């Protein structure tokens, strides 16, 4: 009989729902040594949080976040609050001996991210784990692409092209914490480039050593306020930048919430000497593959349906070939990998810990420096 892993969730928004679904599903799809127990959910309004707990199956509801780190029954705290609260919630949880699973980006600022990284390093010595929900690593197509690169199937890498394009951020979109620099740190940049930078470094197994040519733009400066009237939006609506990888590959990155026609297009293309691959989460079960080693007459892009159990990672836990997976399966698979590692086993593909997420945060911070000072920013010193 698996031992319980008592989970507490902070936050009842979009990610609160996605993570609740993951914790309630993970032991249904995966045979694991620990049984995720939805112990407590914490939200800002107690009545709303009680209703959320009832709907999603959390054992208890609270509006007092400090209770969680002090509760000896709780083993893991899942943080889905706005970026400016990640540090306080994660550091308190780690100090309380709890494992942490924190939403991305690690934090709104590099200082907060560094403090979280350092707290996680201290806690790691006690066997406590700290992860970030870079969920796209667990699309089977992405995990398979990671394997193709690791096997050398693309050969020497030349280009890494990452784009995360959404279009929900138009002038009619009302203010929320995501448009407040004091709460979010940045706009589309920290929200979306965080994902695509992590994705690029994960799939290539490489790291970014220089950022340059960045452009940060805020098109919309006033937005409707939920309570009526308008208020200032103080974050970027899009950021683009160029990068160099340690291997010598060249990268280009772009994040926008105003990319009309793209609802949630998180794209990665890698061009190598022996082949290229291209992924778009809007078609998350497919991987575009170009094999440059076949004879010229048969050379061309092919669409791989990444739904074959035993070939494409994670698929065997879900459905037969061709029965597509969805956004929610990435979170269920990440919950499974975190449980595997916490119980002494191994994740199917690497989990992003706070060190990984801090490296991503450094890239994000360097891009804003590059944009504001119109210069290249070196990231060669890993401990900066």
Output the smallest distance, CB 40 to ligand SOE, in A. Answer: 24
Is 162:140 a contact under the CB 8 Å cutoff? Answer: no
Question: Sign (positive/negative) of CA torsion 236, 380, 268, 311?
Answer: negative
Output the smallest distance, CB 14 to ligand SOE, in A. Answer: 6
Number of neighbours of residue 321 by Cβ within 10 angstroms: 12
Closest CA to 130 of 330, 333, 358: 358
Residue 253's SS3 state is strand
Minimum CB distance to ligand SOE smaller for 188 or for 366: 188
What are the residues binding ligand SOE (CB under 6 A)? 14, 166, 191-192, 195, 264
Closest CA to 82 of 61, 67, 65, 98: 65
Minimum CB distance to ligand SOE smaller for 86 or for 195: 195
Minimum CB distance to ligand SOE smaller for 14 or for 301: 14
Output the smallest distance, CB 199 to ligand SOE, in A. Answer: 11
Minimum CB distance to ligand SOE smaller for 124 or for 183: 183
What is the H or E stretch that residue 161 is in?
strand 157-165
Minimum CB distance to ligand SOE smaller for 192 or for 277: 192
Encoded tokens for 225: 């306020």
Minimum CB distance to ligand SOE smaller for 136 or for 358: 136
Distance CA 123, CA 101 (A): 13
Distance CA 74, CA 67 (A): 10
Distance CA 194, CA 108 (A): 11
Output the smallest distance, CB 95 to ligand SOE, in A. Answer: 27
Query: What does DSSP say about strands 250-256 and 157-165: parallel, antiparallel, or unpaired?
Result: parallel
Minimum CB distance to ligand SOE smaller for 166 or for 361: 166
Q: Which residues pair with 40 in a beta bridge?
A: 8, 60
Minimum CB distance to ligand SOE smaller for 165 or for 243: 165
Output the smallest distance, CB 90 to ligand SOE, in A. Answer: 17
Output the smallest distance, CB 103 to ligand SOE, in A. Answer: 7
Output the smallest distance, CB 192 to ligand SOE, in A. Answer: 6
Encoded tokens for 268: 């990665």
Number of H helices, E strands in the chain: 11, 17
**Which residue in the shown chain puts its C-beta closest to ligand SOE?**
191
Output the smallest distance, CB 79 to ligand SOE, in A. Answer: 14
Print burial letters for 232-252: b (CB count within 10 Å at least 16), e (below 16). Answer: ebbbbbbbbbbbbbeeebebb
Minimum CB distance to ligand SOE smaller for 133 or for 290: 133
- Quote the longest CA-to-CA distance of the chain: 66
Output the smallest distance, CB 191 to ligand SOE, in A. Answer: 5
Phi, psi for 248 (deg, rounded to 5): 105, -10
Is 160:249 a contact under the CB 8 Å cutoff? Answer: yes
């Amino acid at each position: 009989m698996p031992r319980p892993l008592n989970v507490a969730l902070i936050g009842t928004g979009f990610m609160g729902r996605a993570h609740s679904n993951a914790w309630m599903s993970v032991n249904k799809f995966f045979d694991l040594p620990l049984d995720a127990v939805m112990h407590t959910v914490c939200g800002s309004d107690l009545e709303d949080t009680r209703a959320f707990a009832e709907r999603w199956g959390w054992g208890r509801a609270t509006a007092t976040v400090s209770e969680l780190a002090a509760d000896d029954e709780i083993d893991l705290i899942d943080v889905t609050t706005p970026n400016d609260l990640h540090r306080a919630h994660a550091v308190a949880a780690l100090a309380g001996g709890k494992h942490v699973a924190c939403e991305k980006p690690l934090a709104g600022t590099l200082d907060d991210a560094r403090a979280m990284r350092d707290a996680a390093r201290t806690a790691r010595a006690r066997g406590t784990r700290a992860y970030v929900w870079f969920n796209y690593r667990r699309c089977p197509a992405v995990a398979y692409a990671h394997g193709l690169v690791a096997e050398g199937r693309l050969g020497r890498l030349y280009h890494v092209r990452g784009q995360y394009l959404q279009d929900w951020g138009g002038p009619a979109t009302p203010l929320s914490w995501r448009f407040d620099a004091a709460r979010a740190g940045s706009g589309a940049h920290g929200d979306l480039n965080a994902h695509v930078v992590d994705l690029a470094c994960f799939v290539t197994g490489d790291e970014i050593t220089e950022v340059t040519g960045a452009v940060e733009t805020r098109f919309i400066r006033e937005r409707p306020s939920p309570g009526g009237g308008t208020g200032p939006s103080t974050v970027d609506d899009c950021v683009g930048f160029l990068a160099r990888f340690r291997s010598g590959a060249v990268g280009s990155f772009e994040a926008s919430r105003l990319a009309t026609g793209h609802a949630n297009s998180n794209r990665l293309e890698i061009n190598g000497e022996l082949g290229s691959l291209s992924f778009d989460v809007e078609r998350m079960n497919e991987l575009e593959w170009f094999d440059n080693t076949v004879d010229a007459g048969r050379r061309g892009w092919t669409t791989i349906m990444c739904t074959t159990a035993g070939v494409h990672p994670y698929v065997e836990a879900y459905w037969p070939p061709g029965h597509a997976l969805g956004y929610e399966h990435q979170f269920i698979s990440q919950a499974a990998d975190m449980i595997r590692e916490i119980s002494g086993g191994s994740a199917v593909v690497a989990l992003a810990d706070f060190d990984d997420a801090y490296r991503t945060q450094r890239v994000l911070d360097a891009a804003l420096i590059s944009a504001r000072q119109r210069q290249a920013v070196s990231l060669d010193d890993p401990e900066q």
